[in-house]
Structure 1
């Protein structure tokens, strides 16, 4: 499909990690008519400051409102909104299920020809938590919607703007006298660089492969402890890395959660980290023409590149 560069593209949850990176990528590829919707005022203000040419709407997608009018005339909607961390199940249901129903209704009402749904590799996971369960429900809502769509399931992502995951770990390492690792730390991960993932999303926007489901993994299979060492080298840090018993690490996370509404790393996420999942993904070069960035290079760009590495979103 030859999509014009001035085609109207609507991004829900646009001020989050994927959305911020996707706006950068879409603009780099020449797209000029972007609509960014998000309920997080602070993060949306960051996007607005970085990209004054992008139309921004502050709106809670779980609530009815005028935000649906922005779907009129859209060539594609990219559904990015998601509750990833939180202490209460209701938060996940509200943002991953209720909000999705309203977005799908708006796509249907305004006859948007295509939807790109960003799911997660956790739908294939053995994990049993609020995020996993509501992402499965969200993907099912899209699948039975009757709308033309494709679904992308990324693994753990990292990159510019990251307030959680590897971004939080990189900043934490720079502040503490020692960096703790749960147990032996040999928990295999398949981290996916955001910029590579966003290039795959753009290809889906352009080609609109109806009904396709793409599992997208980072090509590098790397243990958690080696991820930490890679970040340490990239940032030239001298923080000692120490291993502590798994049970103690988990107890500390649970204790921290008692005093924090938005813990950066939860006991449920620790269980997911150590669940032993290994995901199979497509060949991004063969399917999308996207050559994935080597992991160490992607880490340096994420946390050392002056363009956006110093900008951190609120959780």
Structure 2
């Protein structure tokens, strides 16, 4: 397969989301000049347009037929980023993780797009059993069986610039409240992955085009949830009091909150996944992709204190 030139057209689906926003920063830094960003979230796409007026943007719902498929004409590579991560209804996950992927793969076949980088998730090899996990498994299966040259990247929990959920939401909540609740003892081991490091993995796959390979990309630090919170508190120089709440009460409060919110930032299912005890085995990013991951404390500081992008938050 021919090496992708820096001026080649790259199409990013779900480009206005967390990974997409970070990836565009990285790809431009590496010299890529012809990026096409497709997303259905008008507000987040507006942020992308403001930050990167040189990037072609297309507002479109990939689960529906439309003119967006013409953007695949002449593309050298597609990076498939779109995903439904949280939601209250199974139909949302099916629509955005499965139906949309069918249409993207069809568009690639029609326009003979030669290569696909598919962003899956570590949940496909986890013990979790929920709508997100099940539809991400089905989505990855569609890609593997598509016949299109591809590679698959499975990241763990990510954090970084623009994050409206997860550690980003926790960081902002901690800055606003005098008391921060922790479920149980908080000793739930996590392997958080810095977004910018993950984007370097994607960029390397675009460049080298491994065919049929699957990479489990894991943060190289094993750290308990409570220590993640303490690291964020220290980086932002906060005085917030960290208080431990019994697990059952914490779960009840999350379910109660979900009754009054269509998009709860942290759900009971996510709490269950947090405490599931997954221990992911990932690749050596230095050996496979040629770089060392950013030290966790440095990555947290850059994510939540950097003047360029740390104050910009996407909508969910």
Give, in angstroms, the shift of residue 11 of structure 1.
0.1
Distance 1:215 1:62, change over 3 A: same
Equivalent residue runs for 1:207-222 within 5 Å? 207-222=208-223
Corresponding residue for residue 12 of structure 1: 13
Mark the runs of 5 or more structure 2 residues left unpaired by the alignment: none
The alignment partner of 2:259 has SS state of: helix
Consecutive aligned runs of 4 or more in structure 1 exceeding 6 Å deviation: none
1:164-223 deviations in Å (ceiling 9; x for gaps):
000000000001120000001000000000000000000000110000000000000000
CA RMSD of aligned residues (A): 0.5
Task: Report the equivalent of 1:166.
Answer: 167
Mapped to 1, the partners of 2:171 and 2:192 lie a distance apart of 14
Aligned pairs for 1:218-257 within 5 A: 218-257=219-258
Q: Distance in 2 between matches of 1:163 and 1:280?
A: 27
CA distance in 2, matches of 1:211, 1:116: 10
Deviation at 1:2, TM superposition (A): 3.3
* In 1: Cα distance, 2:47 partner to 2:312 partner: 9
Quick one: distance in 2 between partners of 1:95 and 1:169? 26
- Hey, what's the Cα distance between the residues in 2 that align with 1:285 and 1:104? 31
Q: Partner of 1:144 in structure 2?
A: 145
3-state secondary structure, aligned to 1:78: strand
Q: Which secondary structure does the structure 2 equivalent of 1:150 belong to?
A: strand
Q: Does 1:102 align with 2:108?
A: no
SS at match of 1:287: helix
TM-score by length of 2: 0.99
CA contact (8 A) 2:178 2:239 kept: no
Q: Which residue of 2 aligns with 1:58?
A: 59
The equivalent of 2:180 in structure 1 is 179
Given that 2:13 and 2:79 are in contact with CA atoms closer than 8 Å, whether structure 1 keeps it comes out as yes
Cα distance in 1 for partners of 2:291, 2:113 equals 27
Q: Quick one: distance in 1 between partners of 2:148 and 2:299?
A: 35
Deviation at 1:72, TM superposition (A): 0.3
- Give the superposition deviation at 1:3: 2.2
CA deviations 1:235-280 (Å, max 9, x no partner) are 0000000000000000000000000000000000000000000100
Please state how far the C-alpha of 1:4 moved relative to its aligned partner.
1.3
**How far does the alpha carbon of each residue in 1:72-130 deviate from its partner, in whole angstroms, 9 at most, with x for none?**
00000000000000011100000000000000000111001100000000000101000
Q: CA separation in 2, counterparts of 1:4 and 1:142?
A: 24
SS in 2 for 1:259: coil
Aligned equivalent of 1:69: 70
Report the number of matched residues: 315
State the distance in 2 between where 1:108 and 1:165 align. Answer: 35
Any stretches of 5+ residues in structure 1 without a counterpart?
Answer: none
